Structure 1
């Protein structure tokens, strides 16, 4: 009898996301086993229990998924799991805390696609402001934009100190350059977006970070993207289904990308990565860089 496909899902939180469990089952895993309250120190033993119990053939049908809500902790847990494996007992690994890696990957890939389609340029050298930049999606979106050559500022509604702390911590962890900028009040937000080429809205659901008057001061804006699907929209004038639609009240040529347009790419990205884990001939280690590469493929297919 063939051995079943098993995915062990580790989270430092109180419960694993039902979204991720559903995605894993739909990707082909027959047994999906969640583990809650898993700290970094527990990863080594759990990983070795996972690999040594199935033998070299069984590990090809085994995977580990890391969730949670902390983008940096998830990266550390992924690295610890990878370090804990011993050849030939190597299984596929994937991290996607709160969907932050695949959501950020989809967001930045969609922005890249619209920049090329609407303005004939890439992110390289552009100024990107991430509103809600201290959360998991905002941090990773900032890292991906920086890796693509953009000058990135993470904004926090808690002020410049919180923003700079998050920017320094994230930049140091992932080897990029990030800066902090205050989003503590309307004046600070308007100052930060005044010369932004790209605005990424990654704030909490139901929070509008830019109103129509704010958009009016963004005189260099080319693309604005919003991951908030809960009314009101995170950026005024950017509907959830928009995908390159001109933004009313913004400068001429500025287009918006809404939450469901980004979500469609995010869903496909996560699904394809999980299928790769489950069905791939070789074990994979999948983080936000791999998610970004996959999201770029999906966006390119859409624009072909």
Structure 2
């Protein structure tokens, strides 16, 4: 009898996300087991329990997913699980805390895709402002954009000191170069927006971070992407379904939450499917999610040709 496909889902929070459970089952996992309150110190023991109980053939049908809300902790847990493998007892791993890795990947890849199609340019050298940049999606979106060559400013509504502290933590942990930006007052935010060619709106649901007046005052703005699907829009004038629709006085491109979410959904589903089909163990984090998001959008270009 063939071993069933089992996914062990670790989260440091009180419960695993039902969204992630649904995605795993719909991708093809037959048995999905969530484990709550998993800390960094017991990841290795749980991982080895999962790999040694099935034999070398059984581990090919076994995967581990890491959730939670902390993007740094998830990256550390992914590394700890990888280090716990004892080949040939090794399984595929996938981290996506609060969906932030796949959402950020979809956001950055979609912005890049529209810049290339409309302005024949990419992310390299672009001045990007991440509003809500200290949250999980904002952090990873900033890291991905910085690694793609953008000049990334991490903005905080708690002021410049908080923004700079967050930027320094990101730079040290992920080996990138970002700066902090003050978004505490209208004037400070206006000054930051005046320098920005792209805006990533990644604040909490239902929080507007950029008004129509601020959009019109941002003369250099080429594109704004908003992951907020709960009214009011994070960027006024950008609808949830917008996918490169022009808005505001200067005709910037707007990307809404559901347009980003469509790419995110495809990326997360395909990463689960890759784990199921893999002949060798995969280790999937935000970099792999970004590469796949680019592939999804390249397919869209090919289909439109």
- Report the TM-score range of the alignment, normalised by the length of the smaller protein: over 0.9
Q: Which moved more, 1:154-163 or 1:17-26?
A: 154-163
> Could you say which residue in structure 2 is the equivalent of 1:50?
50
| 1:165-244 superposed matches below 5 A | 165-244=165-244
For residues 88 and 202 of structure 1, the distance between their equivalents in structure 2, rounded to whole angstroms, comes to 41
> Could you say which residue in structure 1 is the equivalent of 2:250?
251
> Is the aligned partner of 1:126 residue 2:126?
yes
**Kept in 2: contact 1:101–1:288 (CA 8 A):** yes
> Could you say which residue in structure 2 is the equivalent of 1:301?
299
Unaligned runs of 5+ in 2: none
The secondary structure found in structure 2 opposite 1:133 is: coil
Q: 1:123 to 1:209 in 2, by over 3 A?
A: same
The secondary structure found in structure 2 opposite 1:58 is: helix
The one of 273, 277, 280 equivalent to 1:279 is 277
State the Cα deviation string for residues 138-175 of structure 1 (Å, max 9, x = none): 00000000010000011011111211111111111111
Unaligned runs of 5+ in 1: none
Q: Which moved more, 1:181-190 or 1:40-49?
A: 181-190
Question: Shift of the alpha carbon at 1:45?
Answer: 0.4
Which consecutive aligned stretches of 4+ in structure 1 deviate over 2 angstroms post-superposition?
none
Question: Shift of the alpha carbon at 1:176?
Answer: 0.6
The one of 284, 289, 292 equivalent to 1:291 is 289
The secondary structure found in structure 2 opposite 1:116 is: helix
For residues 42 and 51 of structure 1, the distance between their equivalents in structure 2, rounded to whole angstroms, comes to 15
Q: Which moved more, 1:164-173 or 1:146-155?
A: 164-173
> Could you say which residue in structure 1 is the equivalent of 2:84?
84
For residues 41 and 183 of structure 1, the distance between their equivalents in structure 2, rounded to whole angstroms, comes to 37
State the Cα deviation string for residues 163-218 of structure 1 (Å, max 9, x = none): 11111111111111111111112111111111211100000000000001111221
State the Cα deviation string for residues 32-65 of structure 1 (Å, max 9, x = none): 0000000100101011111111111000000000
The secondary structure found in structure 1 opposite 2:112 is: helix
The one of 258, 268, 271 equivalent to 1:270 is 268
TM (norm. structure 2) is 0.98
RMSD across aligned C-alpha pairs, in angstroms? Answer: 0.7
| 1:57-76 superposed matches below 5 A | 57-76=57-76
> Is the aligned partner of 1:19 residue 2:16?
no
TM (norm. structure 1) is 0.98
Question: Shift of the alpha carbon at 1:303?
Answer: 2.2
The secondary structure found in structure 2 opposite 1:276 is: helix
**Number of aligned positions between the proteins:** 302
For residues 153 and 199 of structure 1, the distance between their equivalents in structure 2, rounded to whole angstroms, comes to 10
For residues 60 and 120 of structure 1, the distance between their equivalents in structure 2, rounded to whole angstroms, comes to 43
